[in-house]
Structure 1
Amino acid sequence: MAAQFDKIAIWLVAFIPMPVAQGLGDCFHGDDRDFSSAPDEQRFRVRSDIVVSGFLAGDPQETDFHQCGETVKLDCATGEVLARETAGTDGMSFHHFNVGNTFPDPEGGVVDNPNEFCVNFLYDGAATNPLGPPGSPDVDMNVFFTIDPIGRMLSFRGATNAFPDYEAYASVEDGPPVVLFQQKHTLDPINGLPGGADQGVSATVAI
């Protein structure tokens, strides 16, 4: 059996769906949108992209890129812009990239893959509000991925915070995006951001 495609792109995004988000007396511009699979969507708080290519040659490699959207602080009464700043991306990474039949499970034990061409990797994303008070909690997202290029399946398991909204998509050979997950917020910023990612996301998706 041979790989059924050569390249796959995956992007993960956290965005604030409302026009303005308020918490602890501060107001900030939101991203004012719903879920969007458009690869060039630029309204987000956090976005991470990874492209894995070289499956047909039996030597898949990855490149990745991370971005944070500009944070804009507003006067809650007048809407006047008070400050602008962009968070750093130091807390965002794809890591433990591995090709083969098995993968050391980060939670213990070994993950058995369907074939020797499978790719596994971990994603950790954390970024804080650069204009928030000291100690402001991060936007958190953690996901473990398995890509099977022979069975054309992508499996993942992980978690997000309960605020804001989170989404992830995949595209094979620059084709139409496939939805991996769309996680709507269940709490406000005050209650939904503190603590680590604890809102589970998992699925196996045909690609």
Structure 2
Amino acid sequence: MIDQAWRALIAAVILIPASLSPAKAQAGPDAVGFYKSLEADGRIEFNRLVANANAEKEKRVRAGKVIVTPTNERAAMSAMRMMMYNKLASIGVCADRFTGERDISRAGQAIAKCAEERNQEAVKWYKLTDYIETVGESKMTRCEMKARDFKNEVRFPAFDFLIDDRNPPLFDFRIMNECIMSGM
């Protein structure tokens, strides 16, 4: 379980700045090429987030506000990798929807809108995790299974810098949120 101190750091990954916007990706011959063009900027952004997380951790430790255990730190890093992967892969998934668009400007706008909508679903999911005790871990696990996007995990695999002891999962957070909210 990730403690509250790390939750804020993970939230920073969800709200990745415009440096990783779909418009910045180089248009490739297909969505996979488009996705791959995000790797260098994604790595830079992830390293910046890790550096910020480490600085925040040290600040909290010095202030005596949190004791960081290796387990908490591993869980937080894994969650940050998963969220960064989902952010980047969502751009690829959205690019796939608009690869036939001949107007580059229109395609870029459509991809950006799609990626933003997917990101908003990730933000909603993140907020719903505050209620895991109410929803129940069993239901959360079932919803994760239902929302896992195996097909696109193959098409848009995680970049090496996002893999720790296992590949991060790719989720359709809209499906996840609908599942979590069902029966409420």
TM-score, structure 2 normalization: 0.30
More strand by share: 1
More helix by share: 2
TM-score, structure 1 normalization: 0.27
Larger Rg belongs to: 1
